[in-house]
């Protein structure tokens, strides 16, 4: 039987990146002492009052079809939060509820792009971006953020990558895997390029509440961005709600209308009880996120401190998010070999960051979604593994690191 070329477009190296995670997960299920740092799923339970809102709704018969674009009360609550964040009025008509940020990216990509278009994305990028953008038929143009520049974008190079076929720039701010949060000048420069070349800018802000160095600035708050900037958000990371599959798109009403038509044929709306839980979560946004943010900050500092003086590796301190990147080139191993050997020999699973894009070749990504004791144990195992690996190398190679 034949399949459409579409099925080829939605495979990418991002899919294979999870092999090590699945292997670690299986080993843990078999009772092995594995420390899993390969996924960005918060270890906190979803706060009780949020779960209670869903249970209450379920028990009261909230088990039927709902509004395709999302419950008006929820869209209104999200619009009110973004009115505050962006410093300009955001209405319910600027908001559509979808099944998580991943779903939001997919819908946005299909609504904005088509074959023949080019879409620029800052590289490294979240693993599923490649398939998500390719699904539209557009050509993905990876714009390198060099490791030597701390994975920050070179705006001159972004400008040079724009052609008459470019339709959009996609980025996540803060970034996964690098944890880089863009400065206002960088956001402004991207906004200026978008205005000058009549482009959409799609900004994935799923980590906006986990910023450790300074306040998050949304590109959508900059002048002239109201109609061309699309913001992607979700409750997955901010409220420890990855399994609830709920997120949103904030955009001009015309795009929201097209997204609604697509939602109608894809999902026909979200579950009502999930939206009731989301409403409770959004109304208590700061109360929930400030406590979690402090815990993640402590864990980040702990990991950076625990690995910073380990010979052979270099740890990067992220501005935001729930991941630390570690440069393992000094061990003489590729990042893929490092990840697999670390898993096999020390029972710690991390991701080869090269799966997020070529600029992260030689780096591995560690999540800090475990308690402090486990993170300390993971860092000890990593130090021990790196030490043994260096000892086992020929002297001429080891001495050059
Ligand atoms: C940058 C980025 N965007 C989107 C997602 C997907 O989020 P959601 O669970 O809301 O679909 C992730 C998940 O790790 C992510 O890191």
Task: State residue 393's pLDDT score.
Answer: 72
pTM: predicted TM-score of the whole model, two decimal places: 0.95
Task: State residue 392's pLDDT score.
Answer: 82
Q: List, in sequence order, every residue forming a beta bridge with 142; answer none if it has no partner.
A: 121
pLDDT digits (tens, 9 = 90+) for 168-224: 999 999 999 999 999 999 999 999 999 999 999 999 999 999 999 999 999 999 999
Task: State residue 15's pLDDT score.
Answer: 65
pLDDT digits (tens, 9 = 90+) for 16-68: 678 999 999 999 999 999 999 999 999 999 999 999 999 999 999 999 999 99
Q: How far apart (Å, rounded) are the C-alpha atoms in residues 365 and 327?
A: 9
pLDDT digits (tens, 9 = 90+) for 324-357: 999 999 999 999 999 999 999 999 999 999 999 9
Q: Per CATH, which fold does 48-283 belong to?
A: 3.40.640
Whether residue 398 is predicted with pLDDT greater than 70 in this model: the reply is no
For ligand 1, the distance from its centroid to the CA atom of residue 102, given in whole angstroms, is: 6
Q: How far apart (Å, rounded) are the C-alpha atoms in residues 186 and 180?
A: 12
Q: Tell me which of 176, 207, 249 to substitute to probe ligand 1's pocket, judged by most ligand atoms within 8 Å of the beta carbon.
A: 176
Q: How far apart (Å, rounded) are the C-alpha atoms in residues 25 and 199?
A: 41
Secondary structure (DSSP) of 146-200: -GGGTT---HHHHHHH--TTEEEEEEESS-TTT-----HHHHHHHHHHHHHHT-E
Task: State residue 378's pLDDT score.
Answer: 98
At 249, give phi and psi (nearest 5°): -120, 135
Q: Tell me which of 21, 101, 180, 203 to substitute to probe ligand 1's pocket, judged by most ligand atoms within 8 Å of the beta carbon.
A: 101
For ligand 1, the distance from its centroid to the CA atom of residue 82, given in whole angstroms, is: 19
For ligand 1, the distance from its centroid to the CA atom of residue 206, given in whole angstroms, is: 6
For ligand 1, the distance from its centroid to the CA atom of residue 400, given in whole angstroms, is: 38
Whether residue 397 is predicted with pLDDT greater than 50 in this model: the reply is no
Domain extents in the chain: 6-45+287-390, 48-283
Task: State residue 17's pLDDT score.
Answer: 72
Give the architecture (CATH level 2) of 6-45+287-390: Alpha-Beta Complex (3.90)
Q: Tell me which of 109, 151, 236, 355 to substitute to probe ligand 1's pocket, judged by most ligand atoms within 8 Å of the beta carbon.
A: 236
Count of beta carbons in the 10 Å neighbourhood of residue 227: 12
Can you tell me whether residue 390 is helix, strand or coil? Answer: helix
Task: State residue 97's pLDDT score.
Answer: 98
Instruction: List CB contacts of 390: < 8 A, sequence separation 6 or more.
Output: 311, 312, 331, 398, 401
Q: Which band of pLDDT confidence, cut at 50, 70 and 90, is reported for residue 399?
A: very low
- Using the structure block, give the residue that is written with the tokens 């501005």: 319
Closest atom, ligand 1, to C-alpha of 247: 10
Q: Tell me which of 17, 237, 296 to substitute to probe ligand 1's pocket, judged by most ligand atoms within 8 Å of the beta carbon.
A: 237
For ligand 1, the distance from its centroid to the CA atom of residue 56, given in whole angstroms, is: 28
Residue nearest to atom 2 of ligand 1 (CA): 126
Closest atom, ligand 1, to C-alpha of 207: 1
Instruction: List CB contacts of 240: < 8 A, sequence separation 6 or more.
Output: 42, 43, 44, 45, 46, 47, 292
Which residues does ligand 1 sit against, CB inside 6 Å? 40, 100-102, 126, 172, 176, 204, 206, 234, 236, 242, 247
- Using the structure block, give the residue that is written with the tokens 């909230």: 62
Cis, bond preceding 174 (omega within 30 deg of 0): yes
- Across the chain, mean pLDDT equals 95
For ligand 1, the distance from its centroid to the CA atom of residue 106, given in whole angstroms, is: 12
Nearest-CA neighbor of 287 among 79, 81, 59? 81
Task: State residue 101's pLDDT score.
Answer: 98
Task: State residue 13's pLDDT score.
Answer: 61
Closest atom, ligand 1, to C-alpha of 321: 16
Task: State residue 294's pLDDT score.
Answer: 97
Judge whether 77 and 283 are in contact, CB under 8 Å.
Answer: yes
For ligand 1, the distance from its centroid to the CA atom of residue 207, given in whole angstroms, is: 9
Q: What are the DSSP E strand ranges found in 301-359?
A: 314-316, 323-327, 348-349, 351-352
pLDDT digits (tens, 9 = 90+) for 309-321: 999 999 999 999 9
Q: Which band of pLDDT confidence, cut at 50, 70 and 90, is reported for residue 391?
A: confident
- Using the structure block, give the residue that is written with the tokens 């991207």: 190
Closest atom, ligand 1, to C-alpha of 234: 10
Judge whether 69 and 258 are in contact, CB under 8 Å.
Answer: no
Whether residue 401 is predicted with pLDDT greater than 50 in this model: the reply is no
Judge whether 354 and 363 are in contact, CB under 8 Å.
Answer: yes
Nearest-CA neighbor of 311 among 364, 386, 365, 230? 386
């Amino acid at each position: 039987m034949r399949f459409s070329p579409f099925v080829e477009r939605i495979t990418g190296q991002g899919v294979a990146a999870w092999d090590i995670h699945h292997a670690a997960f299986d080993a843990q299920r078999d009772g092995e002492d594995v420390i899993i740092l390969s996924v960005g799923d918060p270890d906190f339970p979803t706060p009780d009052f949020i779960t209670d809102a869903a249970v209450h709704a379920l028990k009261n018969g909230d088990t039927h079809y709902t509004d395709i674009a999302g419950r008006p009360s929820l869209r209104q609550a999200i619009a009110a939060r973004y009115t505050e964040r962006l410093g300009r009025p955001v209405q319910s008509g600027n908001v559509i509820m979808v099944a998580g940020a991943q779903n939001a990216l997919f819908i946005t990509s299909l609504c904005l792009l088509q074959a023949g278009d080019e879409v620029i994305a800052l590289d490294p990028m979240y693993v599923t971006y490649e398939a998500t953008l390719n699904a539209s038929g557009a050509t993905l143009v990876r714009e390198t953020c060099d490791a030597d520049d701390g994975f920050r974008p070179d705006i001159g190079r972004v400008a040079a990558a724009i052609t008459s076929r470019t339709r959009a720039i996609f980025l996540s701010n803060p970034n996964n895997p690098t944890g880089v949060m863009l400065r206002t000048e960088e956001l402004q420069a991207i906004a200026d390029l978008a205005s000058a070349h009549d482009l959409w800018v799609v900004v994935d802000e799923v980590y906006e509440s986990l910023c450790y160095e300074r306040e998050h600035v949304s590109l959508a708050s900059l002048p002239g961005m109201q109609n061309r900037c699309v913001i992607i958000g979700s409750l997955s990371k901010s409220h420890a709600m990855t399994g609830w599959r709920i997120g949103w798109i904030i955009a001009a009403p015309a795009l929201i209308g097209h997204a609604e038509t697509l939602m109608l044929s894809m999902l026909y709306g979200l579950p009502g009880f999930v939206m009731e839980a989301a409403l409770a979560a959004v109304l208590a946004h700061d109360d929930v996120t400030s406590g979690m943010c402090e815990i993640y900050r402590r864990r980040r500092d702990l990991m950076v401190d625990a690995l910073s003086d380990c010979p052979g590796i270099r740890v990067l301190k992220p501005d935001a998010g729930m991941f630390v990147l570690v440069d393992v080139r000094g061990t003489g191993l590729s990042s893929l070999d490092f990840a697999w050997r670390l898993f096999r020999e020390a029972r710690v699973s991390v991701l080869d960051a090269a799966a997020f894009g070529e600029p992260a070749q030689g780096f591995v990504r560690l999540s800090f979604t475990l308690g402090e004791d486990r993170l300390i144990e993971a860092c000890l195992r990593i130090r021990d593994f790196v030490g043994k690996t260096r000892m086992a190398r020929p002297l001429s190679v080891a001495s050059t690191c």
